[in-house]
Structure 1
Amino acid sequence: MTDDGPENPAAPRPPVPGPPRPRPPTAPPAPAAPDAGAGEPPAADPRVEAVLADLEKLAELPVSEHLAVYEQVHAKLRDVLQSAGQDRPSAS
Structure 2
Amino acid sequence: MIRIRLPEALALVREHFKPLLFTATMDSPQTIQAMLLDELTGESLVLTGLPCGAAVSRAQLSRLISVIELDVIALRPALLERLKERQIAI
Name the TM-score, length of structure 1 as normaliser. 0.29
The structure whose RCO (Cα within 8 Å, separation 6+) is larger is 2
Larger proportion of strand? 2
Name the TM-score, length of structure 2 as normaliser. 0.29
Larger proportion of helix? 2
